[in-house]
Structure 1
């Protein structure tokens, strides 16, 4: 079949018809639920590997392993230490999504510690008088903050999967917050970038702007309030954060600054365990995140589309073209269908079906880009690079792939007085105004509209790849580019790259709208760039590309490999 590119209306009709055919073809086939478990239990490698965005956090994980903890205890140590030393990207005022593999029985689990909307949420709070989105209330201050999920998630990990008391796993973070550390350039630059907004809130000034200015890299920076909050969490678990002293301070600070949290919002927060998404591709099984992550669905859909091509027989330009077109279609579905599974009925059977992918594949021309205007149109802006990810394999073979966030750089910039807790600005991840982009250019429909207690859609895509001879643990920050970075990391792993090769490879990204391909310098040679442009792709250079942290495991010889993104010197991938 060919399209008449001189007749865009006819082309659009043909494409929509093909999409309808794809849906009908799916409906006529038996529905296949994604498997809930990875391959059978694996014998541990004897050593452990951790890759995170900050060397303090990686070392904290190994410290807890040395105490007799497992990968899930180490995950608590890494996450809580990142809250102290990398607050620009995550923290106990935010949330996380985790894909776990338990060695003893080979089962996979997904932990949803995503933030939730407070009961008093009102979409009008995020609109200007003319009905346009109010970017300030969506991104800054207490109205932008969802109810944090990370503290509950850490307590859940300790109670259900760890070997050590929660307090023991939080000890490295408490010590670091109390005794101090030297902030790296990323943190200093983030504080400098958001200094004006931080200055609105007295407790934020006290924490991030000592003496009225950002800390320097050679200064010792302490956070005694967060140390106290973490101690209460360690002593009392869930109740140490969501009830009592800390909860009272959080609610009081938020309401005094114009927010709408209540004690019931905090005490009623619940961690959710959900079945992970699994997809088989070229003999590998990928275990990834289900909604409220949009990433796992998108990655599975892309891989299902690509499974009908032999990418190994194509040159770089044509291989890249097919990957871009698969990205384009997955992001279209991302925008239209996905939301919190506790609130929204989503056609996941359809989106994850190979028959649906078959239909989408038929809409891809081998040598011509499909303009996104031929699919439902929208607008967008540049994706961002905030959030963090770490990967762990312990000596028993337990695996943790965890992505954490406070959303935008330094979240809401609002610190609750007396707690050291920097609140997220995850309310912007809702479709506060349907079909209008958020800070990452992602669109949403009513499926992702804010409601009391609802979880906002996320791009976080923690993933584990199981092969006959190798296992890979992959994830990254990067706003909407998380999805495509993880996808490209999975493809690189399957192609045989080592941990550093995966973390350091050059990247590209397409998210449906804006209709362009963001490209890292050096990703394509001149001939590939020329060919893609001739096909109709618009390429745009971008400089900032996530912070991928990867661990791999060679099952033939037991060798572990760990790497942190070489673009960022503060990270550490280590085997010990």
Structure 2
């Protein structure tokens, strides 16, 4: 488990008042003994090409981690609006022998990072340099993470697991509507970069749904990665082209930045909630800490005995408090000392619980006041269980839709725009409306804080593999998925349920249409909650394992037209 020293500064007054008891460790359960082998496999991802690629690799004798490489690399080809080898990922892995690990392949800031590059003349965040072009891009982590998975957890050579993605990139596929819409939505930014135009605007036009699409440059890059592992991307031909392209467009990457990238293995966060063991992401993800804090708060209530309005009220209030802490304390554990023992303590949660009124919202104005914007809906997640019981829960991202829109010429690599996930100006919102403190300020080699929350839930009779894209809503989507799993919903029920979200600032509850019946919505409003209906969000992908029947179930979010959950 993570053991991180508390920060020296004093928590905010309202937190001090809420903290009844402080302990130096947090509750967790021991890793479960290996269960019976399921004997078959299941994968759920946001694109049917990716799911089929993973199943193809399993059929060749690969395990869940080889399949994960196939799924992730194929998503890089067919779903570049959400993830890719120019971005990064976070993974919670459970081996059939009971070993669990968190794999951090998050992007890092280049050594020459200068916070002033992301400010306008008034000292406010400059959204253009933070979101568009090479200055917005961190050093990618996904290629290193895929090579690490193959070397340390897979059964097949990396080249074998990358083969489906290489074939699809070389031979082509039909664009789905979401990718075509994403390109159309970012057309003006794409047109700023010649290599981006060449890749995404063939013949100078926005492509249409169903158009045949090939990506030979990315196929070549994946071939080099497969042949040479880490060095195939971070040194040599590809690295040289990346650095040259970034520099030519005003960026600041160096060959040393690429060659020095490191995948980090960390102990996952583990929280026990009402007899279920939830294994989730530690920092540099903020998601697992927030998820654990919310579950610890909710553990003091019997939610099943409450009506829908009061149950939802308590969940919203727990969300509010966890996001407040998310904004203030969290960052890259290699750079920042965080009070994780406090934040993850059930005693700390008990103190926060005392600040929640049973039938009245706590205005966020009672906490330090800031402003925010709409949460974003990007990134991607997939879940895998193989026939031996190995499990992979992996969330990948390039941040905003189509990342930085900048393609490095000759590589096919679309770079991320993850620099916006740093607190470029403390307590000013990023593109997802999330706030941050100096704990998440940019620094050379530092990982920016993420909301990615890949998770695995172990119960006496069932196992659930859960995660989702969605910017800041990832945390609340996974929370609601965990609660639905514990309530007994199947995979389709978990991914299909209506969602709601509160992130401390702005002080409102985002509500998917149909999430609440009129009586519940009215009751929440009378309690003081401001409800804002918004279009459906998130593309959750879930796999479940019934240990009594040894049955696997997989489901992809119905909000995504091309997703596929499939049992082999």
TM-score by length of 1: 0.96
Q: 2:542 aligns with which of 521, 546, 550?
A: 550
Q: Deviations over 1:460-499 (max 9, x none)?
A: 0000000000000000000000000000000000000000
Alignment partner of 2:404: what SS? coil
1:239 matches 2:231: yes
Structure 1 segment 382-393 matched on structure 2, within 5 A = 382-393=374-385
CA distance in 2, matches of 1:171, 1:37: 37
Q: 2:516 aligns with which of 524, 539, 545?
A: 524
How far the C-alpha of 1:117 sits from its partner, in A, is 0.1
How far the C-alpha of 1:258 sits from its partner, in A, is 0.0
1:190 matches 2:185: no
Matching residue of 1:4: none
State whether residues 18 and 359 of structure 1, in contact with CA within 8 Å, keep that contact through their aligned partners in structure 2.
Answer: no
Alignment partner of 2:212: what SS? coil
Structure 1 segment 109-128 matched on structure 2, within 5 A = 109-128=101-120
1:22 matches 2:18: yes
Q: 1:380 aligns with which of 372, 377, 380?
A: 372
Alignment partner of 1:26: what SS? coil
CA distance in 2, matches of 1:123, 1:451: 8
Matching residue of 1:217: 209
Alignment partner of 2:174: what SS? coil
Structure 1 segment 21-100 matched on structure 2, within 5 A = 21-23=17-19, 25-27=20-22, 29=23, 31-33=24-26, 35=28, 38-100=31-93
Matching residue of 1:328: 320
How far the C-alpha of 1:217 sits from its partner, in A, is 1.9
Matching residue of 2:248: 256
How far the C-alpha of 1:42 sits from its partner, in A, is 1.8
State whether residues 27 and 346 of structure 2, in contact with CA within 8 Å, keep that contact through their aligned partners in structure 1.
Answer: no
CA distance in 2, matches of 1:119, 1:356: 37
Change in 2 beyond 3 A, CA 1:449/1:17 = closer
1:420 matches 2:412: yes
Count of residues in Structure 1 that have an aligned counterpart in Structure 2: 558
Q: Deviations over 1:23-71 (max 9, x none)?
A: 3x333x4x22454863111221001000000000000000000000000
Matching residue of 1:12: none
Alignment partner of 1:136: what SS? helix
Matching residue of 1:399: 391
State whether residues 452 and 469 of structure 2, in contact with CA within 8 Å, keep that contact through their aligned partners in structure 1.
Answer: yes
CA distance in 2, matches of 1:387, 1:510: 19
Matching residue of 1:306: 298
State whether residues 26 and 346 of structure 2, in contact with CA within 8 Å, keep that contact through their aligned partners in structure 1.
Answer: no
How far the C-alpha of 1:218 sits from its partner, in A, is 2.4
CA distance in 1, matches of 2:113, 2:171: 38
CA distance in 1, matches of 2:292, 2:85: 30
State whether residues 385 and 544 of structure 1, in contact with CA within 8 Å, keep that contact through their aligned partners in structure 2.
Answer: no
Q: 1:359 aligns with which of 335, 351, 366?
A: 351
CA distance in 2, matches of 1:21, 1:143: 42
Matching residue of 1:165: 157
Q: Deviations over 1:156-189 (max 9, x none)?
A: 0000000000000000000000000001000000
Structure 1 segment 535-546 matched on structure 2, within 5 A = 535-546=527-538
Matching residue of 1:490: 482
Alignment partner of 1:186: what SS? helix
State whether residues 513 and 536 of structure 2, in contact with CA within 8 Å, keep that contact through their aligned partners in structure 1.
Answer: no
How far the C-alpha of 1:564 sits from its partner, in A, is 0.2
Matching residue of 2:557: 565
